A and B are shown apart, each in its own frame.
Chain A
Amino acid sequence: MIEAIQFSSFSEFLDMGGYAFNVWSVYGLFAVFIIANLWLPLNKRKQILREQKRRLLVNEERNITTDDKQQ
């Protein structure tokens, strides 16, 4: 496995045969793209749950105090 690696040193790996900027920005962009599109929906889910829980509790409180109808 180790012998098949194309680079002999870490700095050589970072250099990517002279195309460091292009190769690493593509992989960086790709990583940002994937992480953002997984993190954003997860974050939104938290927001939705928080918001709906708050609304639910408010509604329940109101129902207890006015006691006119069940939900």
Chain B
Amino acid sequence: MFWTLVKLMSTDMSRSSTSVAFRSTLKRDLLIAFKKKNDIANPFMFFIIVVSLFPIAITPDGDRLAEIAAGVVWISVLLASMLSMDNLYRSDYEDGSLEQLLLSPHPLFFMVLSKNISHWLVSGLPVVVAAPLLAYMLSLPQEAYLTLIASLLIGTPILSLIGSIAVALTVGLGSRGLILAVITLPMSVPVLIFGTLAVEASVGVGSPAGYLALMLAMLAASLSLAPLASAAALRISIS
């Protein structure tokens, strides 16, 4: 709240450009995230715990784990990103700073984009960094590591951008954990498909480059379209 006010005052006084507002929103969100460490730590812990449940439930056998490793990592990433999605707009909605954001003179598209980026930096990036460790524990073949990291680096922002639409649509609801899952999970299917296909291709004969390129195309499309939908959704939810 305080930061938003500061930001709004500064933008009003200096008539500064949208890029300044973009950066200050980003900085503010990152600061808040680092103050509330739980919000970063919990989805991350959730990701690690879910992944480590699979060998217990399925098999400790390395060969069989290697077969499902990519899928396990991807599904856990998907669930963790959905869990962390919940606090993308919530606290801002509760303290009223989201409303201020809507009233700010800058295009909402960039404001939403900056919130998505900061959210990905604190929730998506740690997961990507931890992925090789977990892939090792699931005995994923070594030649697939690079592809796994690359596919996660491209894929997790897409998940954040898609999830942001659903969160924005349900921001005013009291209990929305499940409805968020029902809306977002089917939409993440393409990312899941190409993410796992890329890893599989790098293990087998094919080349993962094609899948990664397709994922990049999806990232570009969702970077330009999803914030638009999120912004529209926020305007609908807060009116």
Whether A and B touch directly in their complex, counting CB atoms under 8 A apart, is answered as: no
Q: Which residues of B contact A (CB under 8 A)?
A: none
Q: Which residues of A contact B (CB under 8 A)?
A: none
